[in-house]
A and B are shown apart, each in its own frame.
Chain A
Amino acid sequence: MTESVTEAVNAAGGLADGRLLPWPDVDGEPFWQFARQGELRVQTCADCGRRRFPPRPACPRCHSFDSTWQLTSGRGRIWSFVIAHPPLLPAYAKDAPYPVAVVELDDDPSIRLVGTLTTSVRRPDAPLNAVPVNRLRIGAPVQAVFQTLAPGVTVPRWALLNS
Chain B
Amino acid sequence: MLKDRTAVVGIGQTRFAKHLDEPEKTLACRAVLAALDDAGIDPGEVDGLASFTMEETDEVELAKSIGAGDITFFSRTGFGGGGSCATVAHLAMAVAGGQANVGVAWRARKRGSGVRPWTNTSVQLPTPAQWTRPFGLLRPADEIGMLARRYMHEYGATRDHLFNVALACRNRANQNPAAVMYERPLTREMYMDARWISEPLCLYDNCLETDGALACVIVSADRARDCRRKPVYIHSAAQGLPAQHHGMVNYWNDDPLTGPAWAAARHLWKNSDLGPGDVDVAQIYDAFTPLIPLSLEGYGFCGRGEGAAFTEGGALELGGRLPINTGGGGLSEGYVHGFNLITEGVKQLRGTSTSQVPDAATCLVTAGEGVPTSALLLRA
Contacts and interface: CB of A to CB of B under 8 A. Distances in A.
Contacts of B139: 84, 88
A110 B198 CA distance: 25
A84 B134 contact: no
A157 B135 CA distance: 8
B121 A92 contact: no
A21 B130 CA distance: 8
A85 B136 contact: no
A114 B128 CA distance: 11
B76 interface: no
B135 A85 contact: no
A116 interface: yes
Contact of A84 (B142, B195, B246): B142
A65 interface: no
A20 interface: yes
B244 A23 contact: no
A112 interface: yes
B251 A102 contact: yes
Given A20-B121, A110-B254, A80 B134 contact: no
Interface band, chain B: 35 or more
A-side interface size class: 35 or more
Given A112-B252, A116-B135, A85 B121 contact: no
A19 interface: yes
B145 to A, nearest CB: 4
B62 interface: no
A28 B127 contact: yes
When A and B form their complex, which 8 residue pairs have the shortest distance between CB atoms, in order from nearest?
A83-B199, A80-B150, A22-B130, A82-B145, A85-B196, A82-B198, A22-B134, A80-B149
Interface of A: 14-15, 18-25, 27-28, 32, 53-54, 60, 79-85, 88-89, 92, 97-98, 100, 102, 110-116, 128, 133, 138, 149, 155, 157
28 contacts: A14-B122, A15-B121, A20-B133, A20-B134, A22-B133, A22-B134, A23-B124, A23-B130, A25-B130, A27-B127, A28-B130, A79-B150, A80-B146, A80-B251, A82-B149, A84-B137, A84-B138, A88-B136, A89-B121, A92-B136, A100-B135, A102-B146, A102-B150, A110-B254, A114-B131, A116-B135, A138-B150, A157-B135
Interface of B: 118-119, 121-122, 124-125, 127-139, 142, 145-147, 149-150, 153, 195-201, 244, 246, 249, 251-252, 254
Given A83-B196, A84-B138, A88-B139, 16 more contacts: A14-B124, A23-B125, A23-B130, A25-B130, A28-B130, A32-B130, A80-B149, A80-B251, A81-B146, A85-B196, A98-B136, A100-B136, A114-B135, A115-B135, A133-B199, A138-B149
